[in-house]
Structure 1
Amino acid sequence: MSGDKKRSVFKVMGVVLLYWTVSISLVFVMKHLLSGHYGNQDLSIFISWYQSCVTVAVIFGVGFFGRLFRFGIEVPRLDAETIFNPDMLALSLTFIGSLTLNNLMLKHIGISFYQIARSFTLIFTIGMTSCMLRQIVSLKVTFSCLLIVCGFFIGIDQEEASGSITAWGCIYGLLASFTCALCGIYFKKGEAACGGSSLKLAYVNNFNSMVMFFPLVISTNQLSHLYNSEFFSDPSLWMFLTFSGVMSLLIGWISALQIRYTSPMTHHISINTKSLTQTLIAIVVNNEHKTFMWWVGNLFVISGILTYSYLKYKEQNSSRVVKMPSASEEPMNVYRQNGFKVGPDDELSFRPSVQK
């Protein structure tokens, strides 16, 4: 193996390992914050608000110090036109709902059930996209959805039998999946409102979320309860809160990085393999015992998601017709016209992500 190939392999392995580390760490940190280590008071909305504050502070800080020390890092400025854009406001509202419901779901379920609890995100995405575009869902896609549905209900049945899940956990899981799918659709509109700048999208979206979240934090008394509790002066609480905010910002960038150095298909495989690894780690750490049918439910869910990913991969490849450049055409322009991303101007965009 040549030196360039070795460096390429190590680079891919490093990016995938980084994605796994950040994603799994974020889920465990969120579970730690939501599982009662800092009192019985619900902090789900406050945590989401604080994460948005951290994201805004980090992006602002990077831009400020970049200009101060001339690092060459350009961070887009906030402007009223983008902040009050209807598509951006809709995105921020769905983003708030997705974060809050995801936190509430994680509060009522174990990490080992996280993959199944959020499995309906794909089904809701397919359903809403089909309704909006008025497309008929193929039998193969329907089959992949049926695998996910079967796995979801098998998993719920087994979790209920073991007494490790509540009705609220199932409800929050379904609502979190729905809002996450809706949020994904609005992200595309938000990118257009930000002129294609995904960093500006993250900045504006989290700024809006920070402002919109604050009345909820006040009205639910979560901030006042935390302020009057003994945990307000606990350094570990603020360390975990800040860490979760930084990780939630990084996960979108690392996801884009993983797609750039591999492929969208490999990214989906990595996500599901990571989810399975995350499940195994949670079972070992918490010393849980799962039945054979519980594992069957997980297998159904992962199989359904991978089947759909493979079908989309084949569909995109079959519909992509590459135009060969003539002697008078610039090759790079032709590649860009055919949807290929080449060169620094066509880097994959950073997209903030709700933890998957």
Structure 2
Amino acid sequence: MYQNLEEHNRLVNKYLKIVFVVALYWCTSILTVFVNKHLLSSDTVNLGAPLFMSWFQCVVSTWICFVMSRLSRKYPSVFTFPEGNPLDIDTFRKILPLSVLYTLMIGANNLSLSYVTVAFYYIGRSLTTVFSVVLTYVILRQRTSFKCLMCCAVIVIGLLAGRGIRKASQRCSPGGAPFLEFSAPWPWPMFSIQTKKSLTHVNQEVWLLSYYNNRYSTLLFLPLIIINGELETIITYQHLWAAWFWAAMVLSGVCGFAIGFVTALEIQVTSPLTHNISGTAKACAQTLIATQYYHDVRSALWWTSNIVVLVASAAYTRVKQLEMVRHHQQRTAPTQKA
């Protein structure tokens, strides 16, 4: 009786923790998207340098982790931060793949935001499930079941039915639409898987992984800023020396740190698959908020497209969950018989 009650309480606490972390991820992610959109496209700021903004977010995140590490050494009873050395070659080699994916992911996200509305952002996020299936076959050579493939087909049909990609392409710059459609979604599934793997290299310490990842990403962004031609944009920016501008940039950096931290935390307490589906559902809620906030009027066909994509994504999650349960039962069956 006591053991059953203790097990029940343990499961309840586990699920409450998962719900809290997922809710925290949703709130932080939605806030970060709106803050970034304001910096990139609003009439007051209109920075026009998405990769520079991404780099600055990594710089702020790195400094937050660095200050926390110093405070933990000076006041260990108040602050805690895991021991680690970001300059260690072996650590750099193990975390670098994650940092490359992280750089591509947030760079692609902010580039997308500079081209399209927050409401359209959902379309790129929805393609994550499709890219996850493709990458699973290309990299791991693992085939996906017919039911999962049908769910992916419905997702694509739902997106095309709403004609969202074609409409967004008309609003994008000439080079923006192809980048948005094909580059933005694909790092997400790989990043989720690589985060789960990288956590094992830092003893499941989310703080330490965030520190390493952001520090390495600050270096990776520098050549991308130059290649994208943002140096001239930054130098000639009219509000470059305004205090309010840098205050807004620091706020964006804090949001960038928060989303990186809670993303790793959600992947740690759930799974890469759950995180990808959570992100898709979050993007749907984000779309609803964006259409109301920006007074963005959409057609019935567009809303139908979003509903179809959401239902197909949920169906994919359910099918995948049942397949994992079935696979687990098949693996444990011989042991139980023995």
Shared fold (TM-score, shorter chain, > 0.5): yes
Residue 24 of structure 2 corresponds to 18
* Larger CA deviation: 231-240 vs 27-36: 231-240
Tell me the TM-score normalized by structure 1: 0.76
RMSD (CA atoms): 3.5
SS at match of 1:105: helix
Residue 34 of structure 2 corresponds to 28
For the pair 1:207 / 2:215, whether they are aligned, the reply is yes
Q: Does the aligned pair in 1 maintain the 2:59–2:214 contact within 8 Å? A: yes
| Separation of aligned partners in 1, 2:200 and 2:274 | 26
Shift of 1:218: 4.8
Structure 1, unaligned runs of 5 or more:
324-356
Matches within 5 A, 1:110-121: 110-121=117-128
Residue 343 of structure 1 corresponds to none
Residue 51 of structure 1 corresponds to 57
Q: Does the aligned pair in 1 maintain the 2:40–2:46 contact within 8 Å? A: no
Determine which of 284, 293, 302 is the counterpart of 2:310: 302
The structure whose residues are more often helix, as a share, is 2
Determine which of 257, 275, 280 is the counterpart of 1:249: 257
Shift of 1:271: 4.0
| Separation of aligned partners in 1, 2:145 and 2:272 | 21
* Larger CA deviation: 89-98 vs 99-108: 89-98
Residue 94 of structure 1 corresponds to 101
Residue 313 of structure 1 corresponds to 321
Residue 342 of structure 1 corresponds to none
Tell me the TM-score normalized by structure 2: 0.79
Matches within 5 A, 1:238-277: 238-255=246-263, 271-277=279-285
Shift of 1:98: 2.0
Residue 278 of structure 1 corresponds to 286
Shift of 1:153: 1.6
Aligned CA distance change for structure 1 residues 256 and 205 (closer, same or farther; 3 Å):
closer
Aligned CA distance change for structure 1 residues 29 and 77 (closer, same or farther; 3 Å):
same
Deviations 1:276-306 (A, max 9, x none): 2211111112111111111121112212221
Residue 142 of structure 1 corresponds to 149
For the pair 1:130 / 2:137, whether they are aligned, the reply is yes
| Separation of aligned partners in 1, 2:201 and 2:270 | 28
Shift of 1:207: 1.0
| Separation of aligned partners in 2, 1:105 and 1:162 | 11
Q: Does the aligned pair in 2 maintain the 1:18–1:254 contact within 8 Å? A: yes
**Percent identity at matched positions?**
30
Name the amino acid aligned to 2:139. M
| Separation of aligned partners in 2, 1:161 and 1:316 | 37
* Larger CA deviation: 294-303 vs 218-227: 218-227
Q: Does the aligned pair in 1 maintain the 2:116–2:172 contact within 8 Å? A: yes
Deviations 1:2-42 (A, max 9, x none): xx99x969877755543332111111011111115466663
Structure 2, unaligned runs of 5 or more:
1-8, 333-338
Deviations 1:210-247 (A, max 9, x none): 12222443565635543443311223322232222222
Aligned pairs, number: 319
SS at match of 1:78: coil
Deviations 1:34-65 (A, max 9, x none): 11546666311111111111111111111111
Residue 74 of structure 2 corresponds to 68
| Separation of aligned partners in 1, 2:230 and 2:244 | 18
Name the amino acid aligned to 1:82. D
| Separation of aligned partners in 2, 1:108 and 1:53 | 24
Deviations 1:75-106 (A, max 9, x none): 33323223541x53333223222222221111
Q: Does the aligned pair in 1 maintain the 2:38–2:46 contact within 8 Å? A: no
Name the amino acid aligned to 1:217. I
Residue 244 of structure 2 corresponds to 236
* Larger CA deviation: 88-97 vs 290-299: 88-97
Q: Does the aligned pair in 2 maintain the 1:108–1:168 contact within 8 Å? A: no
Aligned CA distance change for structure 1 residues 72 and 255 (closer, same or farther; 3 Å):
same
Residue 114 of structure 2 corresponds to 107
Shift of 1:116: 0.9
